[in-house]
Chain A
Amino acid sequence: MKLVTAVIKPFKLEDVKDAVEGVGIEGLTVSEASGHGRQHGHTEVYRGAEYTVDLVPKVRVEVLVADDQVDAVVDAIVKAAKTGQIGDGKVWVTSVEEVVRVRTGERGQEAL
């Protein structure tokens, strides 16, 4: 079992959700994040004083995935999140040791 984490541009969330559902995944977790890679922030000015804001709003999407679906999910997310502009984000995969469905107590693959 794997956790696929994607940090994406906020306005791409709907596309990514649709893409993940399109590959047959039925759940995901979304949270707000801030960050930057090689993308610069922007400048704001208040009564003549300049501020550089270097953390940019992002959205984090996390999906629990069976091993045989990881590639499909990653590809779907990348394709949906891409704009071609700097700041598109990253997707990464980590191993998960245990998953439990709270309502039923199912563990492992059945809990995905």
Chain B
Amino acid sequence: MSSQFVGVATISAGDTAWVLMCAALVLLMTPALALFYGGMVRAKNVLNMIMMSFISMGIVTMIWVLYGFSLTFGTDTGWGVIGGFKYLGLEGTLDAVVGPEGSRIPMLAFSVFQLTFAILTAALLSGAIADRVKFRGWIALVALWSTFVYFPIAHWAFFFDSGQGGWIADRLQALDFAGGTAVEINSGASALALALVVGKRIGWRRDPMRPHSLPLVLLGAGLLWFGWFGFNAGSALAAGQLTATVFMNTQVATATAALAWILVERIRDGKPTTLGVASGAVAGAVAITPACGYVTPLGAMAIGLAGGAICSLAVGLKYRFGYDDSLDVVGVHGVGGLVGMIGIGFLATVSVNGAGANGLFYGGGGGLLGRQLIASGVTLAYAFTVTTVIALIVEKTIGLRATPEHEYAGLDISEHAESAYDFTGTSVASFAGVGHGGFGHAGLSGSGTLTSPPSTEGNP
């Protein structure tokens, strides 16, 4: 039988349509992230921030086709560490199908879905190094990091091949439905490495560096929330019962985490903020990412509440330890991913997903929790170490850090010869109360003083 005949005869149209739709949803998350991050930086850097996400869409796509898909999902070369060269240039994929009987989808549908994950994870890193990295250096970083960090870890976490696949998914058999390791813990640990190698922004903790457009942040967060249904529910690779549970779990965790974050704010800072509600929602979605296919909706609620509360406190760690993780990739994605991976060890139940396992609260003992910790720990260590090496190599060769002059002027001008906003003319009185950055100049980017970062011994 030719493979073409088999493909056409056994493809599930509904599942294929769902996965393709989800690929589009996840791709939307990258421009959404661009806006989410862009609104959080100062106006003079917003375009550069957005560009770091968009360029990821370009570069990662190219290398995915050339060799990324092959390294991630090609036949394993041994011990579940990395794939091989079976699908270089996506050769051999045009007529191939994947998936179990009754639920078969084209391999290219699976491939493009996974590509959108790779794009998004690389883009996530940009939040840690906002306002201070040369665009050339970022491009090199995306290409090298995707090759040596993302593709291997994605192979570990996402490649099932009857026990011969990636070591986390198929051999250790830790549970990670949509990328708590490969996307969340990976990006968090890698972001920390980048923040340490690149160093702090000039004037960090002394000069005002407030979000210049919270409406952009909220818009981005809303689109991320929407797209995350594709991220999690699409990872079922089928449109069925489990998919619906995953979808519901995603909504529950995201919503409750948003509430938990602003509750912490209300108690600690006095007011619930829009930045908090947006950050909380993202933290919840992050935390449920590995767990969405293995817990009940009540379990998802617990993970959401824990993720929202813990991450809202974790974002203060950078002040305590003195690293400039500018947009809290570590505190939200790294810590949130850990919350989810560890939460699985307690809350997973086979009644939700027969292919899963039972956690501590469901009579499974500590075995699953142990596997979750191993998967998380190794991911964290590998990502941090290799990213540090890559960042040092790029810094020493092409250069990563922008010059102080460019950092002062703003990267939009220095890297892209563009200005985001062009407010000419004087506003009338009704606009004069809006804010302090309305002049649109690079220099007047804020008129406040950072008086107290969250650490108690704060010296600004």
Contact = CB atoms under 8 A, between A and B. Distances in A.
Contacts, number: 84
Interface string A49-90: 111111101110000000000000000000000000000000
B448 A54 contact: yes
A11 B279 CA distance: 33
A12 B436 CA distance: 18
Given A55-B436, A59-B432, A47 B275 contact: yes
A11 B429 contact: yes
B209 to A, nearest CB: 9
B429 A14 contact: yes
A58 B433 CA distance: 8
B116 to A, nearest CB: 28
Contacts of A27: none
A11 to B, nearest CB: 6
Contacts of A47: 275-276, 279, 312, 315, 328
**Range of interface residues on B (Cβ < 8 Å):** 35 or more
B37 to A, nearest CB: 13
Contacts of B436: 34, 53, 55, 57
Interface string B283-294: 000000000000
A37 interface: no
Given A32-B438, A53-B448, A54-B449, A10 B433 contact: yes
Contacts of A13: 428-429, 432
Interface in B261-301: 265, 268-271, 273, 275-276, 279
Interface residues of A, number: 26
Give the residue among A31, A41, A49 with the most B Cβ atoms within 10 A: A49
B211 A46 contact: yes
A12 B454 CA distance: 37
A44 interface: yes
Interface of B: 208, 210-211, 265, 268-271, 273, 275-276, 279, 312, 315-316, 319, 328, 426-429, 432-436, 438-439, 447-454
17 contacts: A10-B432, A10-B433, A34-B447, A45-B270, A46-B275, A47-B275, A48-B268, A48-B312, A49-B454, A50-B269, A52-B448, A52-B451, A53-B208, A55-B448, A57-B432, A57-B436, A59-B429
